[in-house]
Amino acid sequence: MQVKLTVNGEARSADIEPRLLLVHYLREHLGLRAANVGCDTTSCGACTVLLNGRSVKSCTVLTAQAAGAQVITAEGLGSKDSLHPVQAAFRQEHGLQCGFCTPGMVMAATSLLAENPNPTEEQVREGLEGNLCRCTGYHNIVRAVLAAAQAGGGAAPPAAGGGAGQEAGQ
Amino acid sequence: MIPAPFDYVAATSAAHALDLLAQHGDDAKLLAGGHSLLPMMKLRLAQPAVLIDIGQVEELRGITASGDELVIGAMTRHAELAASDLVRAGAPLLAHAAAQVGDPQIRHRGTIGGSLAHADPAADLPMALVALGGSVEVRGPGGSRVVGADDFFAGYFETALEEGELLAAVRVPSRPGVPWGYQKFVRRANDWAIVGAAAIGGRIALANMGPKPVRALAAEQALAGGASPAEAAELAAEGTSPGEDIHADRAYRQHLARVLTRRALEHQS
């Protein structure tokens, strides 16, 4: 089947099997490998991307369900030369250890800050309950999200457009 | 994990979805947010030949006040329900329950209609609907009908929905200011309830205490007869026959039902 969607600001037309999961489309068809397949059961959040500005687990979304939608992955959030405030805060606060959960954490945090630009520490911890870090490096991750909030990360749109927090195209 | 192959059709309206259901019959499943169905399909516990996606059907979304009821479109997502001013004012128990489902990503996708039609007895929204004494609006080839919460859930993952029917909307009484309590016992973040209890206006519903969300009728009757919350809660597990699993055996679940019911009655918002 044919599906049209926008990924990191680029219009895409995909000829796919209906059963193709969004995470596999991103990784295998587009070569965007930031979203990881961790648990593959909607638990760990390593595959988190923004769908119309809201965090979703792309292992549990069909590519077909994203027809007409805007998808943003960590690749589209900022660039190496110009990190998104949430990415910059993760680097600054060392909000990562092995790095496997990091793209999902960053996307979940971006969605969280778009909905609540000034969260308390408790709200950050609850807001990231859908993302697991098996290095257990949560303290610095939470610190990074709070630092990103202070830096105004909630208001910063992804470099690739498709502003977080807006349900465009629904 | 990859689902077995299927054909995909995006419905453009509720009527279109009903036509597609009539055309494909038993081979088809409706796809809402997909956060119960897709995991089952990935595990090959479900292998529908056709998926009818109703996730983009605009007329099935949205929340309105109608008389003394709130009418919630079946495709309303948990995050929308939790954030809705109408729901927070008129049925805060439901807004709270929606905020307990899974995690933020799941709440961005999952829908109230999908969750109720899936009818997991351990889930938040079925218990909330039973506690609130709400109902669901069902559309089928022969027209619409309204089914009360107590009659809608039939058993493990079974509802009163007949073949060819679609859950179109959810109705709950709007009762601003009526005290309510909600308790969910879990061992891990974003998990289903090992046992849950929800109480409002003399009604008490329990999650995961049997094949469907059940009322704690003996406790309700004791409350109505003037018993204290603690006395009534002692009767919460009467008549229940919960399943056993790695998390809890039957006696422990019944103990939890009593404790959580007491807390739901004593700690009300």
ipTM: 0.94
Cβ of B3 within 8 Å of Cβ of A55? The answer is no
Nearest CB to B104: which of A43, A112, A170? A112
Please tell me the predicted confidence (pLDDT) of residue A7. 98
Residues A108-112 have a mean pLDDT of 97
Residue A39 confidence class, pLDDT cut points 50, 70, 90: very high
Cβ of A130 within 8 Å of Cβ of B56? The answer is no
Cβ of A60 within 8 Å of Cβ of B7? The answer is no
- A108 and B CB contact within 8 Å: yes
- A140 and B CB contact within 8 Å: no
Per the rule left: phi > 0, alpha: psi between -120 and 50, beta: everything else, B230 is alpha
Residues of chain A with Cβ-Cβ distance to B3 below 8 Å are 19
Nearest CB to A42: which of B7, B31, B35? B35
Please tell me the predicted confidence (pLDDT) of residue A162. 64
Per-residue pLDDT of chain B (269 residues; tens, 9 = 90+): 999 999 999 999 999 999 999 999 989 999 999 999 999 999 999 999 999 999 999 999 999 999 999 999 999 999 999 999 999 999 999 999 999 999 999 999 999 999 999 999 999 999 999 999 999 999 999 999 999 999 999 999 999 999 999 999 999 999 999 999 999 999 988 889 999 999 999 999 999 999 999 999 999 999 999 999 999 999 999 999 999 999 999 999 999 999 999 999 999 88
Residues of chain B with Cβ-Cβ distance to A35 below 8 Å are none
> Shortest Cα distance from A151 to chain B (angstroms)?
23
Please tell me the predicted confidence (pLDDT) of residue A164. 52
Closest CA to A3 of A61, A86, A42, A50: A61
- A112 and B CB contact within 8 Å: yes
For chain A, the straight-line distance linking the first and the last C-alpha, in angstroms and rounded, comes to: 20
Nearest CB to B108: which of A21, A54, A64? A54
> Shortest Cα distance from A89 to chain B (angstroms)?
21
Residues of chain A with Cβ-Cβ distance to B39 below 8 Å are 41-42, 60
Mutate to test the interface with A, among B105, B107, B190 (most CBs of A within 10 A): B105
Mean pLDDT of chain A: 94
Cβ of A42 within 8 Å of Cβ of B2? The answer is no
Cβ of B106 within 8 Å of Cβ of A170? The answer is no
> Shortest Cα distance from A56 to chain B (angstroms)?
4
Question: What are the tens digits of pLDDT across the range B196-225?
Answer: 999 999 999 999 999 999 999 999 999 999
Share of chain A above pLDDT 70, in %: 95
Provide the Cα torsion A126, A129, A135, A138; round to 10°. -10
Question: What are the tens digits of pLDDT across the range A111-170?
Answer: 999 999 999 999 999 999 999 999 999 999 999 999 999 998 887 888 887 655 444 433
Question: What are the tens digits of pLDDT across the range B144-172?
Answer: 999 999 999 999 999 999 999 999 999 99
Q: Token pair for residue B46?
A: 């479900």
